[in-house]
Structure 1
């Protein structure tokens, strides 16, 4: 899949797309016209939602995570941390929030779900529900 972003004017996007198609055809690639999509303001690619060039957590993922019940053992805690870990870059101070959850997954520790873990669990679900969209790095503004 080739995704273009950045152009807000449809004709510019179409012109850029045609240039890329021509380059690929000259290089010997076969392109099915039925597979060419767009322009679109929103796509989902590899489980990530892209809207206006910004990376977002898909609504289905947010709903699935916020509906999860508190873990009852180490394996369930690890599974929860795995489910949210992919989205950590959307959550400011992610590691500080989830550190109480990692404590109960250590081999040397017995599983004990206390108020600190419950608070971290609720907070990270809340953060996922209100996660920020990530835009491209703009080196010209640094």
Structure 2
């Protein structure tokens, strides 16, 4: 047992650690806002909640915020680039801001896919 060896080594160096402070091995780790469960990453519940609260963006800034949340998790959303195609021209300054039904449908589909695949590993095994 590696943990016991480490504790024994620390005690041999006259370093005491209270038994209530010793953490057992865990299958879950939260690091830099990402939950790692085994060999999978999971979208944290607070992100899923904020995704569910996304409404029709009223401006480019609102749209960029919503899309930024989804882009961070894109490797877990199947066919992300195909679904997000209606958004291609929206962030451009020279294009008039206009939100239509196809973009609303694409946004809702991306949110649905993010919640459906929240605890899966990468879609493509070659992805990091």
For the aligned pair, the TM-score class normalised by the smaller chain equals 0.7 to 0.9
The one of 50, 66, 83 equivalent to 2:36 is 50
Any stretches of 5+ residues in structure 2 without a counterpart?
Answer: 11-16
User: Which residue is 1:115 aligned to?
Assistant: 101
1:39 partnered with 2:39: no
1:134 partnered with 2:121: yes
Any stretches of 5+ residues in structure 1 without a counterpart?
Answer: 1-14, 26-31
Contact 1:41 1:52 (C-alpha < 8 Å) held by counterparts: yes
- 2:21 & 2:94 partners in 1: Cα distance? 52
Quote how far apart the aligned CAs of 1:75 are. 1.1
Task: Give the 3-state SS of the residue equivalent to 2:41 in structure 1.
Answer: strand
- 1:99 & 1:60 partners in 2: Cα distance? 26
- 2:76 & 2:56 partners in 1: Cα distance? 22
User: Which residue is 1:77 aligned to?
Assistant: 63
Aligned residues: CA RMSD: 2.9
Task: Give the 3-state SS of the residue equivalent to 2:67 in structure 1.
Answer: helix
Runs of 4+ that moved beyond 6 A: 32-35
Contact 1:77 1:101 (C-alpha < 8 Å) held by counterparts: no
Q: How many residues align?
A: 116
